[in-house]
Amino acid sequence: MSRTLQRTIFAGCRELGLDDDTRRDLQLGATGKASLSEMTEDELKQVIKALETRGFKRVVKSDAKRRPKAKRADVRFAHVLWRLLHENGSVRVAGPAGLNAFTRSQFEGKWGAVPMDIDMMTDWAQIADVIDALKAWCRRDGIQLKGEHNA
């Protein structure tokens, strides 16, 4: 983690146009240490905060790549069930790609056409079919869902 923080500091200095001497002065002012290699993770984070006060805009990769939430709660629930199956080891392909492939393989024959992305689905009955299939799979694999009791 500290190497990642160090890289973030270098990126921030580059973005702000700070040379090595100015960077060391900033580090010394923020932590009392001029060398990044002598700093703890908390001290490195203090340097990053000092860069942010100077105008550095940090982009977190996970936020940049994160897919927006589905608009419908029932579709989001299908994603939760898929994640539980993946965490259990029942599913090899995690995330929307795997869930979309599952939906196509299970329901294309029944529905005739399946949207390429489950997040685009609007028919509540079709979404309920997907959720029912995922819940049944969870039960078969022993995944306990909140509100459900073993019969």
The neighbour count for residue 17, using CB atoms within 10 Å, is 7
Of 34, 15, 32, 31, nearest in space to 23 by CA: 34
pLDDT of 62 over the 60 cut: no
Look at residue 136 in the predicted model and tell me its pLDDT: 96
> pLDDT, tens digit, for every residue of 86-135?
998 999 898 899 999 999 999 988 888 888 888 888 889 999 999 999 99
Residue pair 127/75 in contact by the 8 Å Cβ criterion = yes
Domain boundaries, the chain: 2-63, 73-140
Tell me the pTM. Answer: 0.55
Q: Please, which pLDDT band fits residue 69 given cuts at 50, 70 and 90?
A: confident
Sign of CA dihedral 75, 78, 83, 86: negative
Helix (H, G, I), strand (E, B) or coil at 21: helix
Statement: residue 37 has pLDDT above 70: yes
pLDDT attached to residue 1: 59
